[in-house]
Amino acid sequence: MHIPANDMPCWPSLPLPHPGNLTSCFGNRMCRCSNITQTADCSGNHGNLTFVPHLQGDFRTLNFSNNKLSEITDVNFFANASGEVRILDLYSNSLTCIVRGAFDRFRKLEKLLLGGNSLTWKGVAAVLSGVTSLLDLDLKCSSLTSIPKDALADVRMSRLRALDVGENNIKSLDLKELQPLRFLKYLYAWKNELENLKSARLPSLVAVKLKNNHLYEFPDTCKAGTDESLFPHLRNLEVEFNNIGNLDKPVCLPNVLSLTLRYNKILTFKTDMFSARRFPSLNSLNVAWVEGRVLALPRFTFNSSALTKLDFSHTNVNFSDRSTVDEDVFGGCNNLGDLILTKNDFSTVSLDRFQKLFQPIASTLKTLHLGECGFVHFSQQYFSRFARLQRLYLYGNGVVHIPDGAFDRMEQLLLLNLDSNRIAVVTEQTFSDDTRKRVVHFDLSGNPFMCTCHLLWFKRWLLQNPGHFTGGTKGYRCANLPHTHVQHFETSEQACLLGEDAAWFTIAISCLLLSFFLVFVVFFRFRWHMRLWFYESCRERSSGKRRKRTKEGSRFQYDAFVAYAKEDVAWIQRELLPVLEGEWGMRLCVHQRDFQLGKHIVDNIADCVNASERVILVFSPHFARSQWCQFELKFCQGNVMERDDVMVLVALRETESRDMTGAMMAVLQTTTYIEWDDDTEARTSFWGRLHLALSD
């Protein structure tokens, strides 16, 4: 189970009076006193103060916590303390034993804090047997287990009204053992791993906290076989953070005003589960954070005219699913004023479905939470029937656009929260003048505002009415201008006055000029490719005849054409030619040796490539930077790719992808390459793979 952050273990639940300005009144600030608040604080000495010193003054609060007392065996331990003490704090002293009669001096003691120690129920009962004035007892974090039978039978705490046994090990609790505490009003037994709760009549109980336990059933509240309540005056019941799966048993809680059931496992809700017949006085109901997928929300689930606040948040229920949620789920809630539905699914709820769901409560709701519900789109009609709504929360929904006048019919609206959506523009038509005057707090923070001419009006409104806008740390920021707040973005008022048509005309002219510029850049960048295309157009007839001769079986003049950068000629002459021509007897075409003098270089490339059975491409950083190498590559791609296995790719040196041209990347992605390395084994592998490639 989850542990609420505010339940800090081993801290007093009964607040001490503010100590005011304390001054040292014993030792080197071992005790600090204030006559104004009548407080003596001798806490935090951690074993250095083992007795209660005599202090001048009639102090009503004595704090002797965190002193490592271990045990109090002297009945006169508090002999020096004022007899006027009303509040005594002995928290976290590792106490295991307190002698009977140790508190007899405190005839006016009202609050006793014994938490954070290691006392037993028998020891507690013995110590408290003579304290009849006590009203509040704090026993948190005391390693207490289940109350033994009749352990408190002889305790004469006739006035005790509050008992806190939270953060203990009470796995089984029989409320019958608390019946001697006839005036007990407040029972706090949270976080005890409580599994078994046996009810008994405690007519004075007003508030019970059983959160953070392991209860699987809702507590018995009726006397067996009758409709008589065991807790007729109970007002507040908290059983959150348990494993309760249903409320099928009879309920007799005539005066419960607040019921907290969040973080339980009620997956199937039933008609009249929280009706006025079962909870006639229930004002506030919390069934949020259901642990599991809710299977059913039938009609009249919350059928109670007494109910004024309902928290059904963080349940992830799809309210468009008619098989799960009935349209009359809120039927009978004639006085519901505060509804929290945060973190449910309204993403596909239609207008008709939305209006039917809220029809029973639209005229009574004053506060509605629909944050993080996927409520992306809505029209003017969605909230038009919420005549009395004062506070509307629509944060975190991904809302892109606020329809003009969507909230203008809500004549009592005072707070509108639309933070953390995707709203880019707010115009003068979004909210009417009456709405802007009526709403006291707007929260539109955390939206990606587009700070353009369209937002100038909103900027002025924001600056003129800073007190009407909230937003915390999220603020109002420009999505298109980094590190700029809406209040501070600048734009030319004159430019905005040109109007939208003039702006579009300016944009069109700018785009046209930009297009001409891009065409020029592209033409210049790919001038070699254009030249190749022009060349191919002129040579189409002759190249067609050449290809025809090739297909008819004419022999190639060269076994392979080698395309390489001039910077790599040393490797060609030292490594490639000696092996391919010297050892393998191949005839290679290399431009430095075999191009015809006086012939145009483009013609040389075309004729030699077409006269070669294969093409060997030697890729390297130099190859990537060479315009002629790129020309040869493009020519090969456009003229000889129809011949299977025509290109053999050699990676002479590693080339960064950012340095490669698009043509090189395309070839690398479609052709297996052979990588050169000076290592002996790598060289052997290289020549073997190259021989296989050229022999296929």
| Residue 549: pLDDT over 70 | no
Alpha-carbon distance of 90 to 42, in angstroms, equals: 10
CATH architecture assigned to 556-695: 3-Layer(aba) Sandwich (3.40)
Alpha-carbon distance of 424 to 100, in angstroms, equals: 72
Strand order across the 588-589 sheet: 588-589, 558-563, 612-619, 647-651, 673-675
Beta bridge partners of 162: 136, 186
Of residues 280, 330, 287, 337, the one with CA closest to residue 306 = 280
**Domain extents in the chain:** 556-695
Three-state SS string across 58-109, please?
CCCEEECCCCCCCEECCCCCCCCCCCCCCEEECCCCCCCEECCCCCCCCCCC
| Residue 473: pLDDT over 50 | yes
| Residue 7: pLDDT over 60 | no
> pLDDT tens digit string along 147-176?
999 998 887 667 899 999 999 999 999 999
- Burial zone of 604 (CB within 10 Å; 0-12 exposed, 13-18 middle, 19+ buried): middle
Residue 258 tokens, joined: 């607040």
* Beta-sheet strands, E only, within 87-170: 87-89, 97-98, 111-113, 136-138, 162-164
> pLDDT tens digit string along 81-130?
999 999 999 999 999 999 988 998 999 999 999 999 999 998 888 877 77
Q: How confident is the model at residue 538 (pLDDT cuts 50, 70, 90)?
A: very low
Query: Does this model's pTM top 0.75?
Result: no
Residue whose tokens read 């009620």: 266
- Could you tell me how far CA 658 lies from the centroid of its own chain? 38
Q: Give the Cβ contact number of residue 150 at 10 Å.
A: 11
- Burial zone of 446 (CB within 10 Å; 0-12 exposed, 13-18 middle, 19+ buried): buried
- Burial zone of 517 (CB within 10 Å; 0-12 exposed, 13-18 middle, 19+ buried): exposed
Largest CA distance in the chain: 125
Instruction: Quickly list DSSP for 190-227.
Output: -SS---EEE----TT--EEE--SS---SPPP-B-TTS-
| Residue 203: pLDDT over 80 | yes
